[in-house]
Homo-oligomer: A and B are copies of this chain.
Amino acid sequence: MKSDSSLFNVNRRTLLFDLALLPALSGLPFSAMAQTRTTQDGSLGSWNEGPAKQAILDFVRSTTDQTSPKFVPPEQRIATFDQDGTLWVEHPIYSQVVYCLDRVPALAEEDPKLRDIEPFKTVLSGNREAITKLSLHDLEKILFATLTGMSVDDFDAEVKRWLASAKDGRWKRRYTDLIYQPMLEVMQYLRSNGFKTYIVTGGGQDFVRVYSESVYGVPPEQVVGTVGGTRFGYRKDGTPFLTKEPKLLLNDDNAGKPEGIHMMIGRRPCAAFGNSDGDREMLEYTEAGGGARLMMLVLHDDAQREYEYGPARGLPETKVGTFSQSLYEEAKKKNWTVISMKNDWKRIFSFEENG
């Protein structure tokens, strides 16, 4: 069940699905970071009445009511959320991969030799068709080159700059605007009921930590992601600093998710949210704890307002395939809750009116 060892867990089919929507490899005007847009009252205002909303309400009631046989003490109230496709848009390509591709020109500026070396040459050509054909191995080279080799402070500043300017191809908005408003409301609702909310993502831990607090209200210490090593060293003036190393410590996807949860949290979640096969083991591990449990999967069935992919509603599994038919069957069998974006959510994004 262990996934491959690629550092940032790129699903090649995802990458190839529609790279034509990739934004131009150039900076857009610098502007302020997005701020947390969770509801203040902890309500689920963007959710339609239905089994998904009801499952959340029932779970919270049974875990927080002291007279309930399923009452959970506050310190054990842990909820974990996958990010890509669960909290924000993952199609047509993971935002972090766009970041890496966007970084290549600056990398070639620093090291002009890269202009003649593949796969950097192809990325710099701007030839979309050729870029979509890059192999997984090529993509790994780009990820390692753009995500390691600098200090953690420089990386942090660079990601901040990019997030403030880069925009997606479809909505022409910052990536941090493409957060699912109903999921922000669930996080806030759980927090207002004493839960600690964690992000447990296959994406890079250092990448997500840059914006997790301002965008999701989740502090960096509550982000579990794919972890690369760092190396402690001293600058010439004696100041200590950490350098990001091309060394994989945890591939936080599939079986790596419960392993990462154990390493970083040391407690089993009571609630877990995902949207793909990469979240299967996290949901199984959550369920196995006994007592009141909430396992939810976001189904992308709304082509008009977001995207339509996955096994339900007769969609061909091969289209994207991250949410497999077998996971869908497992969810049905175990009474996990499948969230229909189309039916359960009044709106997808905060910039939309409630439908």
Interface residues of A (CB under 8 A from B): 1-2, 75, 152, 196, 205-206, 209, 213, 219-221, 223, 227, 229-232, 239-242, 249-250, 255-256, 258-259, 262-267, 281, 284-285, 288
Residues of B within 8 A of A242 (CB): 258-259, 262, 285
| A220 in contact with B267 (CB, 8 Å) | yes
In the assembled complex, 6 residue pairs joining A and B whose CB atoms fall closer than 8 Å, in A order, are A75-B213, A205-B263, A227-B263, A232-B255, A242-B259, A249-B263
How far is A219 from B250 in the complex, measured between Cα atoms in Å?
A: 22
How far is A250 from B247 in the complex, measured between Cα atoms in Å?
A: 12
- Label chain A's interface by main secondary structure: mixed
Find the B residue at minimum CB distance from A266: B220
- Which residue of the partner chain, among B220, B232, B239, B256, contacts A1 with CB atoms under 8 Å? B232
Find the B residue at minimum CB distance from A198: B221
A281 touching B232 in the complex, CB below 8 Å, given contacts A209-B266, A265-B220: yes
How far is A263 from B1 in the complex, measured between Cα atoms in Å?
A: 25
Residues of B within 8 A of A241 (CB): 288
A240 touching B75 in the complex, CB below 8 Å, given contacts A230-B262, A232-B255, A258-B232: no
| A258 in contact with B281 (CB, 8 Å) | no
* Sample of 8 further A-B pairs with CB below 8 A, known A2-B232, A221-B267, A249-B249: A209-B266, A220-B265, A221-B264, A232-B256, A232-B259, A239-B288, A242-B262, A264-B264
A232 touching B285 in the complex, CB below 8 Å, given contacts A75-B213, A258-B240, A262-B242: yes
Report the minimum CB–CB distance from A232 to chain B (whole Å).
Answer: 4
- Which residue of the partner chain, among B229, B240, B259, contacts A229 with CB atoms under 8 Å? B259
